[in-house]
Structure 1
Amino acid sequence: MFIEVLLIYNTSITIRHYSNKTDFSVICCQLAHVYIICSFCHPALASFHNLEVLDLSYNNFVGSIPSTIKLLSSLKVISFANNTLTGSLLPDHGLCELKNLQELDLSRNMLTGNLPKCLSTLSSLKLLDISSNQFTGMPYRPLIANLTALEYIDFSHNNFEGSFSFSAFSNLKNLTVVRFISDNGKFEMETEDPIGWIPLFQLKFLMLPNCNINRPKGSAFPSFLIHQNELRVLDLSHNSLKAHFPNWLINNNPMLEVLNLRNNSLSDTFSFPLYENVNAWWIDISANHIIGTIPSSIQKFSPYIAHLNLSRNSLSGPIPSSVGDLNDLFALDLSHNELSGEVPKGLFTNTSALTLLHLSNNKLYGEVLSGNLNIGRIQMLHLNDNYFTGKIGNVTSDLTLLDISNNLFTGIVPVWISNMEDSSQLLMNNNMLEGQFPCGTASFEFLDISHNFFSGPIPTCLNLQYVEHLHLGSNRFTGSIPNSFRNLTNVLTLDIGNNYLSGRIPKYFGELHNLRILLMRENNFSGHIPKQLCQPRVVSLLDLSGNSLSGSIPSCLKIVTGPSYIALVPSYWWSYPRDLFYRHASVLGKELSVHNDQEALGFLEEVHFTTKSMSRPYKGNVLEYMTGLDLSCNMLTGEIPKQIGLLNQIRTLNLSNNHLFGPIPVNFSNLASIESLDLSSNNLSGDVPSELINLPFLAVFNVSYNNLSGKLPDMKGQFSTFTNASYEGNPLLCGPPLEKKCTSTTPPMGVPSAKEDNDEWYDINTVWFVASLGSTWVVFLLGFAGVMYTNPRWRRMWFCFIEECMFTIYYFLIDLVSRPSVLLFRQ
């Protein structure tokens, strides 16, 4: 016989014939670095009559699978994986006629439609992988049940909808691998129908995350697993399973290496089997309802565990010192529990492999970072949201991420903090740290030292060239904004609010084209708002409130129109000490990933912004949609630019406590997304535009203490929820909800009355009257003092006049006291 080999390399095709006694033909088109962009060459493929293996994976083939594939009747293995194939698998596509087919891999393409029922005729099929396509509908139950030779099946990442019974696999005695990962939330896996079914298979690899397991039956834990004792990998995460923690599952499967039950509703007291399991190295039971304490003998259960995630449960008590005896421990996450006590020192010093330690959101206390401390190979350390105290000592580390926010640390920051590894993330906000922040060599990407007592000027020696999120707010920084800030070309968030900074807003802020959030509230900035701030096109949150800014509002501030906040959450991935892939014994050598969604470690960006009269935290994905402009509590003058009415996506607008005058722009009715609008304490005049009643989401509206007049808009829509407080301090307004009724003589809105034409005394603005009267007296007194100072003759005459007046008053009082009878008689 002849072996026919088709070699494709450097986009050229060579066919060679070799004499051999075996009846075996191979075509191998798997290319690592060469991409073939074309449709299938039908005549060429049809000429290989004895071809048994066709591997065209990892290319860039387009189009549909040719029907001429049926001419290769000897095919046993086909792989079209990792291409861009489209179309649906119609009954006449030819694949169903390949009766000798044993392995079919169509994964990672763009195939659509339902799976054809004729696939059930491929009785020799051992491997079927259609993952990462766009198949719809629901797999035909007999299609699965008739493939009795199946060993490997992967239907993950498609658009299947409806309910599928896992018992369809019950007679597949050779089945060892099942992957059925759902993405759309519309797929349900039923494992309890029919009741008490017993599988013939022994699975080694089972992944059913996000499959809504047994939703109609109360999300019970799959009972067929009682009969499994060869499992190596089990992933039932994100299913809301309601049951007790399945200790029996671990007992029955001594070869179990990976167990992922993350994000379910499992409840029980935390405990591990008493015997040693040397194979378990990945345990994730986070986001459940596990209570109790961490067993002190945890190292006896799995001495070689590398990844242990018990976060987001209700565990209490201390962290046992025996955790430090897990020599292979690589990642430990105990966050979001109710753990208390001090952190065992051995957790830092004994665990030589530990790279990630996540202890945040507990009730831990003690001086965890005091003194001289060597924390080994830990690169990511999360200690935030606890009760840790004391000063930060001299720590030796390889840290790239340190989060100690929301604790009670005191004292000054040591220099090693600023000398962390490059591309570092440092969060120290909400502590009681003080002094000047030290200089160092670290190149920070995320730096949050807000809400402390740092003082002095903003450090200019820090390497902030690559920083994306910079939080320096709520400290005691003084001076002006350093010129080095012009190098923040990557910055997305810049928070310098609530300090004692002064000077003008730098014009070069307009050159920071990546800037999305700029918070400068509650400082002593003065001068005009630079028009250069209009240059960034996608600023979504701008807060300049509580300063001494003057001049008019730039009309070009129409750029505040988000949502546009890219790269919101800096994510960090870690590698693991063991191989996360398992190779299935087959011609294609399929590699199986342990988990479907490797957890991103990092933190959600959070900023505070005042809306609806309250300072609120906005965290995570909500920042992609939050937009706002706050210029309140300044000395801004002029009319409100009509261009602001074009910000149809803005959610909060605060221009209160300024000296703005003129009317409320009618085109504010275009602010379709506005939720909070505050124009109070200005000098606005005219009426309240009735068009504003069309704003569907307006929850807070305040125009109090202005010079507005006329009839208020009808109590319709959101305006039916506003009270007197929204309009007080405007004596010429009338109509509900105010007690003042609009009489027939009340002029219509927008039409000046006769009283306004005659400028009666009660139409005079009281604030302006008092201010002008006071300024007149001040000018008069200063002028009088100047004359007295420069003219000695007039000064002597003034003093003589004062002296004469004093003597006159004196003798008048003497005469009044000494002769009361005379005065009485005169009366």
Structure 2
Amino acid sequence: MNNQYLPVFLASCLFFISLSQTASNTSSQHHCLPDQSAHLLQLRQEFVERNYSDYYVYYGYDYYYHGSYPKMKSWKADSDCCSWDGVTCDTQNGEVIGLDLSKSWLYGPLNSNSSLFSLRHLRKLNLDSNNFSSSTIPPEFGQLVRLTHLNLSFSFLHGRIPLEISWLANLVSLDLSLNHFENFVGGNYDYKLLDLRRIHLEVLVQNMTYLRELHLGEVNISSSLPQSLANLSSLTSLTLFGCNLQGKFPADIFMLPKIQAIDLSSNPKLVGVLPKFQSCSSLKELSLPYTNFSGELHSSIGNLKSLNYLDLSSSNFSGAIPPSIGNLSQLTDLSLSYNNFHGQLPSTLGNLAKLTSLKLNNILHSQEVPSFLRNLTQLEFLSLSHNNFDCGFPVWLINNTKLHSIDFWENQLKGPIPSEICRLPNLSYLDLSYNSLTEAIPSALFTTPSLSSLYLEHNQLTGPLKFQNISTSPLKLLSLSENKLNESIPRSIANFTKLQFLFLSSVNLKGKVELEIFFELKELQYLDLSGNRVLVSKTNISSTIPKFSELYLSSCHLLEFPKFLEAQNALQTLDLSNNSIEGKIPKWFWNVGKETLGYLNLSFNLLSKFEHPLAVLPWKNMYLLDLSSNILQESFPIPPLSTNVFLASKNNFTGSIPPMICKVRALGILDVSNNQLIGQIPQCLLNSNNSLVPSKLDIYSIVGANKALQLADVRVSVGEEGTIIIRFEGVNGNPMVSGLCIKRAARLPASQVKQGHIICNNCDAEIEISSAQNKYLRMMATVKYEKKIEELKTDPVPAQDR
């Protein structure tokens, strides 16, 4: 081509390219069809926008809330709906094919007549992390037959999963997980879950041959898994935690050609063994904690070269841990805690150079901290609790500068706490509690730049406490209970400006503790001074006193009700037990936490009367009220109508139990033994259909000690101050016969209550944790009960365990 024509040629090419792009863009800019826009605008009218940030953060669900905003707010009738936030349209015809309203602040029921079901061309629908007011899943979802992706997780749905969901044969991804709805009634959490028991999992997925992702966490399945799941050859991710699975897990699922993630955690009735893994396995995540998987780990586990997450904790694995586990070069998270492994840990664990989280609780058989930890320079989270380390704190661990969290709870660590810990720039959590550490706490520890939680309780640490240069400390939780400080609390503790939780029970302080010192901690919510001599000023109430949510002043040598309580309208827990408070319960006391108080313990005082008797005690959210072991002399009081546990034994109450007690419908435990009560027991307390479980002493007085009992149901409540109440309901010829065992246990933070922790030796009971309830472990737990109740009939629970 002649060079003189080249510019003309290039210009022509550019013109045609530009024309082609313009035509392409014009053809793809289809506006949303009018009916689609109308359906979406109608959908917006069906819900209200409600910011649930406080709820999510309070219950530990901030992960699901993070990044949320009201997407529908941008939807305007005078604009193209294909440009609306969360809406995707087909570029050929303008039909709405995708709707992502996850984390959109939607609040209200999801009804069968929702305009959502008029969007018949939808392929992808995401309604994750909204609040549909505990409504059921409408069967009309079965009309959206083009759906390939459906996500209804964490949206407060409950009830039966409709059969119509199984009609969605084109589904590639189905997520119905985390739809538990909690309702706190009378001290118990009423869990409402999605239910798959009616149609069964096999029926649900029988038509979903393209399925790649199946997430049903916390859906109530209550059955064994069908072998047909192993036919889902495209499956890459299977999530079935907390589903009450039973029977044997089909091992073929582990061998699916494309499977990458399996989560079966918190299914204690699910049994199984791990197969011999092939080197071609694509498995990246395997989570089996709190299941009944057992057997030895085969050396083939080292073939899982893509594995980055492995959690086998709290199961029944046994044998030696194979050295081949060190071949998992991509592993970042490893937990082998609470199993039946024996022998030494293989040193090859030191080859796992990418590990950021390591949990080896209750499995080590050495008195020394494993030296291979030196090689794990990427570690951020290290938990070695409940082992038998009989040594000092491993100072060489300070070289792992990326550590965020260190947990050595319940070992036998000796000697002083090394001041070098403060050199860890990222350390935010340190738990050295329940050890044998001695000497004074290094003052530098309180100024560790990122430390927000410090647990040092149950050691032999001494004073003096030195709080220097702490005004910028990020510390939010400080636990020093059950030590031998032998000094007074310095007033400089008030310089912890961010402190929210302070545990100082039974620290053997010198002299009296001035309560007013802690009033300067403006962020303080939780204060425990039990077992110390506390001095309470009688000065006027100040508006600058923190609004406590939990306050423990048990065994503090108090002689009267602290006046500052009169302004505490946000209290949820108050313990004034084992003091010498005498006389009348003042009238103003009825307003303390009137809307919020759930736990009140006034036992073991010298209280004689109510200054202003009421027909029903006034608190609206009370679940446990303990007035026992006083000298209260009036007629029997009616507890708040929300009460689940009412303990009023060892007083001088007179008259009969009023029939009005029957209105306390949440009442589960009532102990009125050792009073001067007469007359008939209200019929509702003898009604086998009533939920009331009488106390063990009442059983002996009403039924007699020679009745043979048979176990029907066992439950346990863990009170917020650590009181553990085990209830068992049994029948053998008399449906009202039940029992009770109460153990005044030492307070244990929820993070320290472990699987298998013995909670009542007399009742041979132990904690059995479920992930769905971990958040509420201080309130609820399940229990394994192995001792026959017949053995108790001539062996009452000793007084010290009641």
Q: TM tier, shorter chain?
A: 0.5 to 0.7
2:172 matched residue in structure 1:
176
Name which of 409, 419, 422 aligns with 2:423: 419
**Residue 101 of structure 1 aligns to which amino acid in structure 2?**
E
1:308 matched residue in structure 2:
310
**Could you tell me how far apart the structure 2 residues matched to 1:678 and 1:193 are?**
50
- Cα distance, 1:515 vs structure 2: 1.9
- Structure 1, unmatched stretches of 5+, are 1-15, 30-37, 41-56, 86-94, 565-626, 728-736, 738-827
Name which of 594, 601, 604 aligns with 1:653: 601
**Residue 648 of structure 2 aligns to which amino acid in structure 1?**
F
Name which of 186, 195, 220 aligns with 2:194: 186
- Is contact 2:551–2:574 with CA below 8 Å preserved after alignment? yes
1:481 matched residue in structure 2:
489
1:114 matched residue in structure 2:
112
- Cα distance, 1:211 vs structure 2: 3.5
Q: Point out the structure with max Rg over C-alpha.
A: 1
User: Does 1:453 pair with 2:460?
Assistant: yes
**Could you tell me how far apart the structure 2 residues matched to 1:242 and 1:628 are?**
41
- Cα distance, 1:248 vs structure 2: 0.9
- Cα distance, 1:344 vs structure 2: 3.8
SS at match of 1:140: helix
SS at match of 1:514: coil
Show CA shifts across 1:249-300 (max 9, x none): 232x222222222333564453233411352211122232111222233212
- Cα distance, 1:387 vs structure 2: 3.0
Query: Are the structure 2 counterparts of residues 119 and 479 from structure 1 closer, same or farther at C-alpha, using a change threshold of 3 Å?
Result: closer
**What are the equivalent positions in structure 2 for 1:736-755 lying under 5 Å apart?**
none
Name which of 498, 522, 535 aligns with 1:513: 522
**Could you tell me how far apart the structure 1 residues matched to 2:214 and 2:154 are?**
15
SS at match of 1:389: coil
SS at match of 2:241: coil
Query: Are the structure 2 counterparts of residues 726 and 504 from structure 1 closer, same or farther at C-alpha, using a change threshold of 3 Å?
Result: farther
User: Does 1:468 pair with 2:415?
Assistant: no
**Residue 279 of structure 2 aligns to which amino acid in structure 1?**
E
**Residue 453 of structure 1 aligns to which amino acid in structure 2?**
Q
- Cα distance, 1:495 vs structure 2: 1.5
User: Does 1:208 pair with 2:216?
Assistant: yes
200-209 or 130-139: which moved more? 130-139
Query: Are the structure 2 counterparts of residues 701 and 276 from structure 1 closer, same or farther at C-alpha, using a change threshold of 3 Å?
Result: same
**Could you tell me how far apart the structure 1 residues matched to 2:372 and 2:99 are?**
58
- Cα distance, 1:713 vs structure 2: 3.5
Query: Are the structure 2 counterparts of residues 151 and 726 from structure 1 closer, same or farther at C-alpha, using a change threshold of 3 Å?
Result: same
Query: Are the structure 2 counterparts of residues 167 and 220 from structure 1 closer, same or farther at C-alpha, using a change threshold of 3 Å?
Result: farther
2:73 matched residue in structure 1:
62
Show CA shifts across 1:525-580 (max 9, x none): 55746666885353243333444566x5443323455455xxxxxxxxxxxxxxxx
**Could you tell me how far apart the structure 2 residues matched to 1:407 and 1:379 are?**
21
**Could you tell me how far apart the structure 2 residues matched to 1:721 and 1:700 are?**
5
**Residue 492 of structure 1 aligns to which amino acid in structure 2?**
Q
**Could you tell me how far apart the structure 2 residues matched to 1:140 and 1:272 are?**
41
Query: Are the structure 2 counterparts of residues 308 and 471 from structure 1 closer, same or farther at C-alpha, using a change threshold of 3 Å?
Result: same
**Residue 463 of structure 2 aligns to which amino acid in structure 1?**
G
1:790 matched residue in structure 2:
none
Name which of 250, 255, 258 aligns with 1:255: 258
Higher-RCO chain (CA-CA 8 Å, sequence separation at least 6): 2
**What are the equivalent positions in structure 2 for 1:686-725 lying under 5 Å apart?**
688-690=633-635, 692-693=637-638, 697=643, 699-701=646-648, 712-716=654-658, 721-724=671-674
- Cα distance, 1:380 vs structure 2: 0.8
Of all paired residues, the percent bearing the same amino acid is 21
How many residues are aligned here?
582
- Is contact 1:391–1:412 with CA below 8 Å preserved after alignment? yes
User: Does 1:227 pair with 2:227?
Assistant: no
Name which of 282, 290, 294 aligns with 1:291: 294
Query: Are the structure 2 counterparts of residues 304 and 637 from structure 1 closer, same or farther at C-alpha, using a change threshold of 3 Å?
Result: same
- Cα distance, 1:453 vs structure 2: 0.4
1:499 matched residue in structure 2:
507
Show CA shifts across 1:730-749 (max 9, x none): xxxxxxx9xxxxxxxxxxxx
Query: Are the structure 2 counterparts of residues 23 and 695 from structure 1 closer, same or farther at C-alpha, using a change threshold of 3 Å?
Result: closer
**What are the equivalent positions in structure 2 for 1:278-427 lying under 5 Å apart?**
278-300=281-303, 302-347=304-349, 349-362=350-363, 364-368=365-369, 373=374, 375-394=376-395, 395=397, 396-397=399-400, 398-422=402-426, 424-427=428-431
Query: Are the structure 2 counterparts of residues 459 and 351 from structure 1 closer, same or farther at C-alpha, using a change threshold of 3 Å?
Result: farther
Query: Are the structure 2 counterparts of residues 516 and 170 from structure 1 closer, same or farther at C-alpha, using a change threshold of 3 Å?
Result: closer
Query: Are the structure 2 counterparts of residues 372 and 130 from structure 1 closer, same or farther at C-alpha, using a change threshold of 3 Å?
Result: closer
Query: Are the structure 2 counterparts of residues 448 and 188 from structure 1 closer, same or farther at C-alpha, using a change threshold of 3 Å?
Result: same
- Cα distance, 1:431 vs structure 2: 1.1
- Cα distance, 1:445 vs structure 2: 1.0
- Is contact 1:509–1:532 with CA below 8 Å preserved after alignment? no
- Is contact 2:194–2:218 with CA below 8 Å preserved after alignment? no
**What are the equivalent positions in structure 2 for 1:552-567 lying under 5 Å apart?**
552-560=560-568, 562-564=570-572
**Could you tell me how far apart the structure 2 residues matched to 1:259 and 1:644 are?**
53
2:684 matched residue in structure 1:
none
- Cα distance, 1:303 vs structure 2: 1.7
1:165 matched residue in structure 2:
163
- Cα distance, 1:339 vs structure 2: 3.5
**Could you tell me how far apart the structure 1 residues matched to 2:406 and 2:116 are?**
57
Query: Are the structure 2 counterparts of residues 548 and 235 from structure 1 closer, same or farther at C-alpha, using a change threshold of 3 Å?
Result: closer
Show CA shifts across 1:458-477 (max 9, x none): 23248583222211111110
**Could you tell me how far apart the structure 1 residues matched to 2:640 and 2:269 are?**
45
**Could you tell me how far apart the structure 1 residues matched to 2:248 and 2:633 are?**
61
**Could you tell me how far apart the structure 1 residues matched to 2:516 and 2:344 are?**
49
382-391 or 478-487: which moved more? 382-391
- Is contact 1:514–1:536 with CA below 8 Å preserved after alignment? no
**What are the equivalent positions in structure 2 for 1:9-24 lying under 5 Å apart?**
19-20=22-23, 24=27
User: Does 1:439 pair with 2:381?
Assistant: no
User: Does 1:676 pair with 2:626?
Assistant: yes
1:591 matched residue in structure 2:
none
SS at match of 1:435: strand
- Cα distance, 1:485 vs structure 2: 0.7
**Could you tell me how far apart the structure 1 residues matched to 2:609 and 2:380 are?**
58
- Is contact 2:433–2:459 with CA below 8 Å preserved after alignment? yes
2:551 matched residue in structure 1:
542
Query: Are the structure 2 counterparts of residues 655 and 555 from structure 1 closer, same or farther at C-alpha, using a change threshold of 3 Å?
Result: farther
**What are the equivalent positions in structure 2 for 1:119-134 lying under 5 Å apart?**
122=120, 126-129=123-126, 134=132
- Is contact 2:482–2:505 with CA below 8 Å preserved after alignment? yes
Query: Are the structure 2 counterparts of residues 100 and 18 from structure 1 closer, same or farther at C-alpha, using a change threshold of 3 Å?
Result: closer
Query: Are the structure 2 counterparts of residues 328 and 556 from structure 1 closer, same or farther at C-alpha, using a change threshold of 3 Å?
Result: same
- Cα distance, 1:427 vs structure 2: 1.1
- Cα distance, 1:202 vs structure 2: 3.0
2:97 matched residue in structure 1:
103
Show CA shifts across 1:432-472 (max 9, x none): 11111223341421111011101121232485832222111
TM-score, normalisation: structure 2: 0.62
1:264 matched residue in structure 2:
267
**Could you tell me how far apart the structure 1 residues matched to 2:410 and 2:433 are?**
6
**Could you tell me how far apart the structure 2 residues matched to 1:638 and 1:58 are?**
54
**Residue 172 of structure 2 aligns to which amino acid in structure 1?**
T
- Structure 2, unmatched stretches of 5+, are 1-18, 33-39, 43-67, 181-192, 662-668, 678-697, 699-802
SS at match of 2:267: coil
**Could you tell me how far apart the structure 2 residues matched to 1:142 and 1:371 are?**
55
Show CA shifts across 1:410-429 (max 9, x none): 22222233433345111111
2:64 matched residue in structure 1:
none
**Residue 421 of structure 1 aligns to which amino acid in structure 2?**
P
- Cα distance, 1:375 vs structure 2: 4.2
